[in-house]
Structure formats: C-alpha cells, structure tokens
Amino acid sequence: MNAEPTLGENVAGSERATQSGQRLLEVANLRIAFASGRSLLAAVDGVDLRIAAGETLALLGESGCGKSATALGLLRLLPAAGRIPGGEVRFEGRDLLALPEAEMRGVRGGGMAMIFQEPATSLNPVLTVGHQLGEVLERHLGLRGTPARERSLELLTAVGIADAQRRLGEYPFQLSGGMKQRVMIAVALAGNPRLLIADEPTTALDVTIQAQILELLRRLQGEHAMGMLLITHDLGVVAQMATRVAVMYAGQIVEEAPREVFFSAARHPYTQKLFAALPDLARRGGRLDTIPGQVPPLSGMPSGCRFASRCEHAWERCRRQAPEWRQVAVGHRLRCHLDALPAAVTGTPAAGGSSAAPAADAALLSVDELRVHFPIRRGILQRTVGHVRAVDGVSLELARGRTLALVGESGCGKTTVGKAILQLIAASGGSVRLLGQELGGLARGARRPLRRRMQMIFQDPFASLNPRMSVGEIIGEGMSALRIDVQGQGRAAAIAAVLEQVGLEAAAAGRYPHEFSGGQRQRIAIARALAVQPDLVICDEPTSALDVSVQAQILNLLASLQADLGLAYLFITHNFAVVDHLAHEVAVMYLGRIVERGTVDEVLRSPQHPYTQALLSAVPSVRVDTPVEFIRLPGETPSPANPPLGCHFHPRCRQASAACRERYPATTSLSGTHTVRCHLHS
Amino acid sequence: MAFLPVILWSDVLIWLLFATAAIFGWLSVRNPLWRTAWQRVGRSRAGMASATVLVVFVGVGLLDSIHYRPRLEEAAASAASGTSRQPPAYAVEVLSVLDAILTPLRTRNEKTYSEPLATRAYAKESIESRGADGQLQQSRDYPRLKHGGAHLGTDETQRDADIGQRLLRALALATLLWWALAAATAAGLARAESCTHEEAWRRIWHNESDFAWNAVLATIGVLLLVVLPLAALSFNYHVFGTDKVGQDVFYQVLKSVRTALVIGLVTTLVTLPLAIFLGVLAGYFRGWVDDLIQYLYTTLSSIPGVLLIAAAVLMMQVLIDNHPQWFATAAERADLRLLALCFILGVTSWTGLCRLLRGETLKLRELEYIQAAQAFGVADLRIIGRHILPNLMHIVIIALVMDFSSLVLAEAVLSYVGIGVDPTMISFGTMINNARMELAREPMVWWSLAAAFVFMFTLVLAANLLADAVRDAFDPRIAGSA
C-alpha cells in the first residue's frame, strides 16, 4: 500500500498537497490522554496510521481500546478532559495539531467528515434535513439559496433517498433509522471531504439496513475517491469494506495488514483470538474460544506487552518488554515477541454438548396463536382508533433441553413475544401453555408456581440490575418472592452456589453491580434467572451489548448450563452467527408473524421464504473469498399499526405475485419440521 | 417549681424530627451500605463544612424549641414563705431556653431605630435637658440610646476604641479556642489511628484522613471568629442595630432560625408522603389510578397558589379568632397558626415533586430490572419499596432542599401579603416585610434586611451544599465512577 515510503518525505510541504492521492492522512505516534484529577490516563498510546485516497482502513477492536478516541482526536473534537500530549497528524500535508481552531473548523466537514454511530442522536431533532445540509454547504462551499437547495437534492439522491424534494423539508423524527443514517452520510459528504471517518456506522442498524448502508458507503467512496477510516468491532463489516485492517488493543495498534492477508494469515494472538471467539458454523455446538480476563484499565497499563496477561502464548519477555513493530510481509506488521504462531486455534467440540440434546419429547412450552395488540388512543376521550399488531398469531413449541431462536429485524415483535410468554405483557388472544398448564387466565397467585419454571435474561446488562441492590440481594430476590426452600443450606449458600455455577466468586454477593464489567453483569443476570431453577429461559439478545470475546464467554456458559441442567432456551436475537452456533430450531418473524420455521440447517442452509433469503444474504460474512449476492430489500419495515394488505412482505418482495397482494399465505409444510408461509410454496 | 413547661405542637414535631434523624443515624451505622455512603459524605469537604454550619443553626433552633412559663415573682415569694395556699402563678409570656440565654438582648429595647453598634438613635428628636443654670433647655439632636453603649457613660468618643478592644479580645479568645480544639482533634485522631501527633496533624491538613477534618476545623474557625466577637459586642451594643420598636435585630435573627426550620422541615413532612405516595402510584400502576391522580394535581396546580393559601389561611384565622378559649397563651395561638401555615403550604406544594416522581417512575418501571422482578412474581408493593423508591431518593433529596429554600422564601412572600405567620412571631419573612418599608426612606434603614438576608442565605446555602454531597454519596453510579 505504502509503496514508496521515502518519496513522501523528500517532497517539500507545498508539493505534498498535490500528492494527496498517495498520502491523505498520516498519523505518527499519536497519543491521547484523559485528565483524571491531577494525573493523565493514556487512552491512545502511540498510534501510527496512513490512509491514501480511495483506501479504506478499518480500525478493529473491542470497546474501550481507544478507537473512538483516536477518531475524535484526529478531528480535535475530544471531550473536555481529553488531551493530546504528543504525536503528529498530517492531513494533506498540514499538521492538524498545530492548526488554529478557526482553520480547524474548515478541515472538519470540509477536509474530513465524520459519521457517528447513533443516527437517532446525531441529527438535530428541531431542524429540518434541508437546514442541516444547508449549514454544511454554506460553511464549506459558500452555497446559499437555490444553488444550496439543488446541491442538497443531489446529495440526498446520491445517498439513495427517494423523493428527496419532500424529505428536505422534513424533520429527523419523520425518517426511519436507516434513512437518518443516509441523511447523516449526506451531511458528511456535503463539504466534499477527502476523508470520511465512520465510527461504527451500522452498529445501531438492522442487518438489511446495514447492508444497504455499507453498499452505499462503498459506492460513494468509489465515486469520490475518498479515503475512509472505518471504526468497527464487526469482523464481517471489515471483510466487506476494508482495504487494510489495523487491530487496536488497549490504546495501541497491535497488527496491521492488507485485508486478504488479515483474513488468511493474521499473526497476532489477539487477532487470532478475535477470530476464534466468533461463533461460526465450523464450531457449531462446540465451545467458542474466549479471551480470559479484560482489557487492562487505563490507570494500570502493564509495562510489557499489553496483551500478555490474556495471552496463552505469553512468555517471560512479553511481561518485561513492550514489543516493537515487526514487519512480517509486505504491508503486514505486528507488535508481538512471538516469531511464529500456530495457525488459528479452532474450538474443541464439547463432549456430548448441546448438539446431542435429547430429542423433542413432550413440549415444555407451547404457544398457540398468541396475539398482542396495543390500542392506539386518540382524542380527549382516549378512544381506541386502531391497534398496533405487535404480535399477530404466533405459534411455537419448545421442548426441554432445546433452543429455539426467534430472529427478525427490530420492530418485528420478537421481544413482545418473549414478554407475553412471561406474562409481563397481557396477551390479547391465543394461549400460552407451560407444562400443559394455561398461563393466560390465571390469577397472580396461581401463576406464581409457574413463574419459577420460566425466567428471562435481558439485553442490556447495565439496565437489568438494580444499581442500589447488592448482587446477593438481586439473586436472592427471586428465591424469596417465589418462596423457594433451600433444603439443608442457608440462602447465602444457595446464592454462592448459583454464583459459582455462572463462574463468579461467592464473594461477589456482597458487591454492587457497578463494580462489574458488562460480561460479569450478564453472568449475574443469568445467575438471577438460574436461582429459581427454571426449566425455560427466555434470552432477549443477551449478547448484543457485549464484545465478541465476552459474547463467546456468555454463549459458552449458556451452552454448558443447557447441557448440565437441561434448560430450554427461547433465544431472541438478530445475530445469525449466534443462532447458527447455539440454536436447534429457528423461527423467523416479520411484522408480528412467523414466516418461516424449521431446524437450523433447514432455515439457514436452504431458506425458502424470500424474507429469510434476503436477511441471510445481508449478513456480512467473515469469509472474504466467497462473495454472496446481496438481495436488496427496498424500503423499510412497514408499521405494525397499518400492515400491508395480503402478505405483509409483498411490497418489498421481488417475487410478489397478484395472490400476495390479496391474502396472507397459509402455512405450508416443506418437511416434518420445516414450515413456511409464502405463496411461492403453496 | 420555678417554671411551668409548655409543650407547643411545633416543639413536638421538631423534637420528633430530631429523634427520627437520630434513629436513622443509628440505623445507618449498623447498615454497611449506608455507613460507607455516610463515610463518603464525611470525606466531602464542602459537605462537612456546610454540615458544621447547619449544626449551629439546628442547635439554635433546638434551644428555641424548649418552652416554659416562668413563675411570677410575688407568687414565688408567697409560696416560699408558706403564708398562702394560693396556687403558684405563672407569667403569660412563654419563653424558650434560647430566650433565657439571650435575656439581655431580649429585654434591652430601645425606643426605635438605631444603627448597628450605635450609641445614639437614628433620627433626631427634641430633647429636653436641664442646663447648668437649672433651666430647661430644648434641643433637637440624636437622643442617646438607653442600652447601646450605656457603659461608656457620657464619653461617647471612646466607642471605637472600646469596640476595637472588645474585638481584639474576642478574636484572641477565638484563636485560642480554635487551637485548643484543633489540638484536641489531632490528639483524638492520633489515638484512634495510633500514630504520632505530628502525623495526625499532617493527615488532617493534607486531606489524608477518612473524614474531612480540615473542612470542619476551618469552618469552626470561621464560625468562632464571627460568633465570639458578635457575642462580646452584643452585651453592650446592638450589633445589628434595632428595629422600629427598638428590639435588637440580632435577637430577632436568632429567633427567626427556628421559624425557618419549622417552615422548611415540617412542611416537607406534609409534602413528601403525599408526593411520593401519589407520584409512585400514578407512575407505577398507570391506567385509571394515573388519570385520577393527574386530574387531582393538575387541578390543584392550576389554582393560583397564593390565592389558595390566602383562602385557607384566612379561614383558619377566623377559626382561631372565634375560639380564643383553645389557647392559654398567645404563643400557643401563634404556634398553631405556624403549623397550619406549614400544613397549607404542604398541601398546595406537593404537585411539582409528585409530577417529577411520576415521570421518573414511568421511566423506571420499563427498566429491565423491574421487569425481571415482575417475572419473579414479586408483589407490586415490594417492587415499589425495593426497586423504585431507592432509585427515586436522589430526586427526593434534591427536591427536599430546593423546597426548603423556596419554602423559607415563600413564608417571606406570604408575610408580605399579610397571610404568613402570626405578627407576634419573629421570622425572616416578618423581618424582611418590616424592613421593606424602610428601604425607601432616606437615610435608608438597611440593617434588618441585611441581617435577615445574610442569615437566610447562609442557612439555605449550607443546606444546598450538604444535600449535594449527600446525593453524590448515595448515588452508586457517581460513587462507582469516582
């Protein structure tokens, strides 16, 4: 990539700008620290980056490794406590760190622009789209009035927004999430930047929208020959987008390689661990590799290799001496003392793991035609004018020791199904039977014995634990509420036992949730559910808020608990890799209904419903060599308050026929376990 | 008996509050979570400095909350001699312990306004004096005060020197006392932590002790430097001047502290249960309960507050006036009127906090840990008690202190409209109200207002700072990140 490293240094500064095609951004030994009291904590320690025009550098790493701090540091947008104690940032030959603030404002948006993670909060809710675009156009291009409007229209059309004329006058709340991110990209492009910094641009979006946005970014980058710094933790996104990859760990870049080399011959133990921790078909049902421990805190950085404490290959020198850069191939360098590492470690299949789960016996849970409708009330008298059909006739069966994955995009009603099964939300119709007993009509008291049979693990481990209760109180609450006898041992002993079961020390009972990391908190949440010895656990995206390595730990824990205790899981997720790894059966939901159901192999290997096919094609694959054709879904998920007539999916379906527009398709059985609701198969 | 104890209703409430605080403190020591939280408060320098100031205010308020009626002299004499079997007679005037301590301040009234530390009145009067020839002479001059600087006799030029001398002596005493106190603290700390005195001393001043001793000692130092000179001067001068009827303003300010504490604390006793109970109920159960409670507070808060309070106070005033037989003394009547005012203020001012708590509860009940508890079948009241209330406490504490200050101020406003506390009761409100008219005159009478303002400001500021420290210490999110 950087074929002539000496050439650039010999060219005088004035000529550098003309050479920008080769060197857009050069970052040398950038250090960023955060002031804490009187001391400075180094968040980024000596980062070197080079980005050429038309090139995408992916910055990969877990949360807390300093990726976002690096991006904000490049733009000099660090929060008030942030300091840049050293380093050099050259953008088109200019030293950004030495620029006065007034000139820096020209660089931001004009020279390099940034796209943020959360489209919902990066647009100002009280300004129209046109106003927010116009602001950038006026600042950087001096455009006003009609020319600005024309340019805005061009930009919106370029980012694939239909009916741009109307959208210009609209406010962010009138746009969907994917559209907001498109507008955000249009705003970023408005100043004709040469470098685009994208900080997790698709993390908050659904897979189908993510695929659209990634495709858009690729196309725009090609058209404008922009450089791009893509910050992400998703190896799939990296595989699709990057030209080069830099892996960041604890404030340092530890490995840098061209994409092909990175995906075939990553050398750093951390990178290899990241790959190994990824749930994948190859290790189905086995244990995932995890990275023990956590990223060292900013205040306690080890003096040697920063990864040494979590590295299984670490030797004495790693702890003593920080490794220097070492070139191993063209464009491939890493910071590691090990000369050659064994090839990527593969997971060891679990002995008699969940793949050998008992065959479906009598159903533990059976849900029949479950409906949850929320009334829409309007007017002074709060009259019901319609219903949001969040769940509209869902039927499921789940046997002991099995895992059923409920997948679908956000807003399709999968979480509502989970809560309705737990009776946290009253169902509007249908039945939920647990162990043959109907839950729907029971009084609170009568429902209590059944409560202990099913529990829930929530998505966000930071919101699911009461910050004012100790871990012991949190876990003990369920036991005392359900009056569970702990024979022969005290409650404290029971709590200690369940903590041990999820891999925490018994001493954790006396501590408070804020003292734990995200992964440990999720373990506490699991312990809370396990404390009442349930048969069924509803997992609502339990790993989506966690890093890959921590996700692997939690998935392993769930798998081993299932093997040991014979738990049944209803696994609500949008992550297909996790489904593939953990589930026995899959049900795909779209707009409150299950459109396809079957075993993992049936649904994921030979999807029959066009929606399932589109979803699967949109999942970014970590394999760079097998390009999958992305089935582009036009439009957005319709509102469940006003679903389309006929098949809900027909407005977005390429194979829709006249029948699809008229009536909802009936269930078709393709095999003993595989059913689909589509006119193509009836 | 030389006195007859009088128990006023507000005394009961104040001492009950004090006892509750003491019990709460005792419980806190036994509960490890609370103990560590209070220890965090103890480490906060601003918190401990303001706590020290508050302790002084509360001390004054408590001293002013033990009331009695002194025995009249003649009756006492006759009872002692045993000549008469008459029951002992007690004065109709109800005094407090603070009044007894401040007897010189309370009794030495001038005729009318005098400036702080003045020896002569503030306005000229016609003075008749007998000249050397025995003739009555009329002159127009500032009359000499009866008590202010009376010990100087005719030699008024000595005033400045006298004040300076007293100040110096008081300051010297304050410094001495402070050193003694600081040394005692260091010695105590040295014994508790078994280190040398020098080491303890260093720890105190280098902020290395577990308790913000340096803040407490510094505050005590400042307080001593202010209080001792005030005390030394107040015996012979009116340090803050006198008001229209010649009463000492310093005495009035000290008496106002109790009124402010009663208004600020007792009112919240009425507000808090209403606001918390109704707010949490509305937010947690929603549906018709929510509709009903919302209707209630929307209606209540759309009636102009002053109007509502005025109507209630006037009704109550009529009631009190029609039943003079209920009250043995004027103090009892004034006290009941104060309590009624607290009650009325409380009933009309819970809506803001209730609305706040309802909103927060609406947010909390959707949180996943509440849903987890519901999935366990935990009873609703238990969820409210264990999950929702503790997470609302920081809002309650903030609202409590903000209300404290605004209630003290509301009392001033209501006294201005003439519907505040009883005119015979001394409060910051009545002081400010009386001083208000005099601001317009030339030369201006500023000292009443200034004294009331400084005391009220100090009280409210100290309460605010302490509440900040308490909230930070009890919020696990902030405590965890620190």
Which tens digit of pLDDT belongs to each residue from B303-338?
Answer: 888 888 888 888 888 988 898 888 888 888 888 888
Question: pTM for the whole thing?
Answer: 0.78
| Residues with Cβ within 8 Å of residue A30, at least 6 apart in sequence | A44, A46, A47, A48, A49, A70, A73, A74, A84, A86, A87, A88, A89
Chain A interface test: which of B286, B369, B471 (most A C-beta within 10 Å)? B369
Q: How do residues B430-470 score in pLDDT, each as one tens digit?
A: 888 888 777 877 778 888 889 988 998 898 889 888 888 88
The whole-number pLDDT of residue A625 equals: 61
- H or E element in which residue A371 lies: strand A363-378
DSSP B325-394: GG-SSHHHHHHHHHHHHHHHHHHHSSHHHHHHHHHHHHHHHTSHHHHHHHHTT--HHHHIIIIIHHHHHH
Residue A227: per-residue pLDDT: 92
- Cβ-Cβ contacts under 8 Å between A and B: the total is 70
Position A595 scores a pLDDT of: 92
CB contact under 8 A, B369 and A481: no
Nearest-Cα residue of chain B relative to residue A454: B375
CA-nearest of A603, A606, A552, A637 to A235 is: A552
* Interchain contact, A447 vs B368, CB within 8 Å: no
Alpha-carbon distance of A513 to A496, in angstroms, equals 16
Chain A residues contacting B via beta carbons under 8 Å: 419, 422, 424, 444, 447-448, 451, 454-456, 458-460, 463-470, 474, 477-478, 481-482, 512, 514-515, 525, 528, 532
CA A25 to chain centre: 28
Question: In which residue are the tokens 């948006």 written?
Answer: A109
Do A455 and B375 lie within an 8 Å CB cutoff?
Answer: yes
Of A299, A425, A450, A468, which to mutate for an interface test with B (greatest number of B Cβ within 10 Å)?
A468
Whether residue A676 contacts residue A608, with contact meaning beta carbons closer than 8 Å, is answered with yes
Chain-centre distance for alpha carbon B374: 44
Which residues 6+ apart lie within 8 Å of A338 measured at CB?
A269, A313
Q: What is the pLDDT of residue B83?
A: 53
User: Mean of the per-residue pLDDT values for chain A?
Assistant: 83
The distance of A117 to chain B (nearest Cα, Å) reads 23
Residue A9 scores a pLDDT above 50? no
Q: Which residue in chain B has the smallest CA separation from A465?
A: B369
Minimal Cβ distance to B476: which of A464, A467, A532: A467
B110 three-class SS: coil
Contact B368 A455 (CB under 8 A): no
Which pLDDT band holds residue A417 (cuts at 50, 70, 90)? very high
Taking an 8 Å cut-off on Cβ atoms, the answer to whether B375 and A422 are in contact is: yes
Cα dist from B297 to A584, B294, B363, B446, B451, whole Å: 54, 5, 20, 41, 38
Nearest to A481 among B376, B477, B480 (CB): B376
> Residue A348: what pLDDT?
43
d(CA B33, nearest CA chain A) in Å: 9
Check A477 against B378: CB less than 8 A apart: yes
Kindly indicate the confidence band of residue B277, based on its pLDDT and cuts at 50, 70 and 90.
Answer: very high
* Triad B197, B203, B209: Cα angle to 5°: 120
DSSP3 helix / strand / coil % (chain A, rounded to 5): 35, 25, 40
Phi, psi of A588, rounded to the nearest 5 degrees:
-100, 125
Q: Is the dihedral of CA B313, B317, B323, B329 positive or negative?
A: positive
Residues of chain A with pLDDT > 90, as a percent, come to 18
B379 touches chain A (CB under 8 A): yes
Contact call for A477 and B386, based on CB within 8 A: yes
Question: Which of A106, A103, A161 is CA-nearest to residue A129?
Answer: A161
pLDDT band at A267 (very low <50, low <70, confident <90, very high): confident
Instruction: Give dist(CA A394, CA A431) in Å, integer.
Output: 10
Give the nearest chain A residue to B391 (CA atoms): A468
Q: Which residues contact A147 (CB under 8 A, 6 or more apart)?
A: none
Residues of A in contact with B391 (CB under 8 A): 466-468
Q: What is the ipTM of this complex?
A: 0.76
Partner A contacted by B478 (CB < 8 A): no
B482/chain A closest Cα distance in angstroms: 10
What's the pLDDT at B237? 87
Distance between A105 CA and the closest CA of chain B, angstroms? 33
Q: Is the pLDDT of residue B75 over 60?
A: no
Radius of gyration of chain B (CA): 27
Residue B377 has its nearest CB partner, among A451, A465, A512, at A451
Local confidence band at A588 (pLDDT 50, 70, 90 cut-offs)? very high
- Where b means 16+ CB within 10 Å and e means fewer, B185-209 reads bbeebbeeeeeeeeebbebbeeeeb
- Judged by a CB distance cut-off of 8 A, whether residue B387 touches chain A is yes
Q: What is the pLDDT of residue A536?
A: 92
How many CB atoms are closer than 10 A to CB A230?
A: 29
Q: Nearest CA to CA, how far is B478 from chain A (Å)?
A: 10
Locate the chain A residue with the closest alpha carbon to B382.
Answer: A481
φ/ψ (deg, to 5) at B345:
-60, -40
Mean pLDDT of chain B: 85
Evaluate whether B471 touches B479 at the Cβ level (below 8 Å): no
Sheet architecture: strand order including B67-70: B3-6, B67-70, B95-96
Task: State the Cα–Cα distance between residues A195 and A229, nearest whole angstrom.
Answer: 8
Alpha carbons within 13 A on the beta-carbon side of A39: 6
Cross-chain residue pair A467–B386, CB shorter than 8 Å: no
A578 pLDDT higher than 70 = yes
Q: Once rounded to an integer, what is the mean pLDDT over residues A518-532?
A: 89
Lowest mean pLDDT among A13-17, A550-554, B162-166: A13-17
Tokens standing for A192?
A: 């004709």
Mutate to test the interface with A, among B31, B371, B381, B388 (most CBs of A within 10 A): B371
Which chain B residue shows the shortest CA-CA distance from A481?
Answer: B378
**Res A246: pLDDT:** 94
Mean pLDDT of A610-628: 78
Higher pLDDT pick, A381 / B230: B230
- Spell out a b/e string for A507-542, using b for 16 or more CB atoms within 10 Å of the CB, else e: ebbeebbeebebbbbbbbbbbbbbbbbbbbbbbbbb
- Do A469 and B386 make contact, defined as CB atoms within 8 angstroms? yes
In the structure, what pLDDT confidence band is assigned to residue A362 with cuts at 50, 70 and 90?
low
Residue B481 has pLDDT above 50, yes or no: no
A430's tokens: 């249908």
Whether residue A489 is predicted with pLDDT greater than 90 in this model: the reply is: no
Mean pLDDT to the nearest integer, A215-224: 88
Angle at which helix B45-63 crosses helix B249-285, to 10 degrees, equals 110
Query: Residue A567: is its pLDDT beyond 80?
Result: yes
Do A467 and B379 make contact, defined as CB atoms within 8 angstroms?
no
pLDDT at position B307, please?
Answer: 85
- Sheet with A454-457: list strands edge to edge: A454-457, A536-540, A568-573, A403-407, A585-590, A593-599, A675-676, A668-669
pLDDT of residue A411: 79
**Do residues A376 and A385 lie in contact, with contact meaning Cβ atoms separated by under 8 Å?**
yes
pLDDT value, residue B53: 94
Q: What gap in Å lies between CA B226 and CA B356, rounded to an integer?
A: 40
For residues A226 and A205, the model is more confident at A226
Q: What percentage of chain B exceeds 90 in pLDDT? A: 24
Q: So what's the pLDDT on residue A17?
A: 39
What residue has token string 């014994």? B191
Task: Measure in Å the smallest separation between the Cα of A579 and chain B Cα atoms.
Answer: 23
pLDDT tens-digit map of B5-41: 888 889 999 999 899 889 988 888 877 777 887 888 8
B chain contacts of residue A458, beta-carbon cutoff 8 Å: 368, 371-372
Q: Do residue A525 and residue B374 have CB atoms under 8 angstroms apart?
A: no
pLDDT at B222 exceeding the cut of 90: yes
Distance CA A163, CA A153 (A): 9
The angle at the Cα of A364, spanning A500 to A406, to the nearest 5 degrees, equals 80
pLDDT-derived band at A488 (thresholds 50, 70, 90) equals: low
| Closest C-alpha among A21, A75, A2 to residue A224 | A21
Cβ-defined contact of A467 to B371 (cutoff 8 Å): no
What's the pLDDT at A3? 42
Order of strands, edge to edge, in the sheet holding A25-36?
Answer: A39-51, A25-36, A82-91, A94-95
* Mean pLDDT along residues B358-382: 89
* Predicted local confidence at residue A244, as pLDDT: 92
Half-sphere exposure of A242 (CA within 13 A, CB side): 31
**Whole-angstrom Cα distance, residue A516 to residue A527?**
14
| The pLDDT value given to residue A538 | 93
Reported as a pLDDT band with limits 50, 70 and 90, residue B415 is: confident
- Residues of chain B found within 8 Å of residue A478, distances taken between Cβ atoms: 376, 378
Report residue A355's pLDDT band, with 50, 70 and 90 as the boundaries. very low
Chain B residue nearest residue A466, CA to CA: B369
Q: Give residue B80's pLDDT.
A: 55
Q: Do the Cβ atoms of A545 and A458 come closer than 8 Å?
A: no
Radius of gyration of chain A (CA): 27
pLDDT, tens digit, for every residue of A126-180?
999 999 999 999 988 888 889 999 999 989 988 888 888 888 888 988 888 888 8
Sort out which chain B residues have CB atoms less than 8 A from A474's CB and list them. 369
Give pLDDT, residue A12.
40
Whether B200 contacts B189, CB under 8 Å: yes
Smallest Cβ–Cβ distance between A451 and the set B368, B375, B476 belongs to B375
For the segment B116-134, the average pLDDT, to the nearest whole number, is: 81
pLDDT tens profile A43-88 = 898 899 999 988 999 999 888 788 888 999 999 888 888 889 888 9
Residue of chain A minimizing CA distance to B363: A463
Q: What's residue A357's pLDDT? A: 43
Tell me what pLDDT residue A21 has.
47
Give first-to-last CA distance, chain A, whole Å: 54
For residue A498, which of A550, A533, A459 has the smallest C-alpha distance? A533
What pLDDT was estimated at residue A6? 41
Q: What pLDDT does B476 receive? A: 58
Query: Is B385 touching A (CB cutoff 8 A)?
Result: no
For B377, the closest of A448, A468, A514 (CB atoms) is: A448
Chain A residues with CB-CB distance to B382 below 8 A: 481
What average pLDDT score do residues A408-424 get? 87
Question: Quick check: B391 contacting A, CB < 8 Å?
Answer: yes
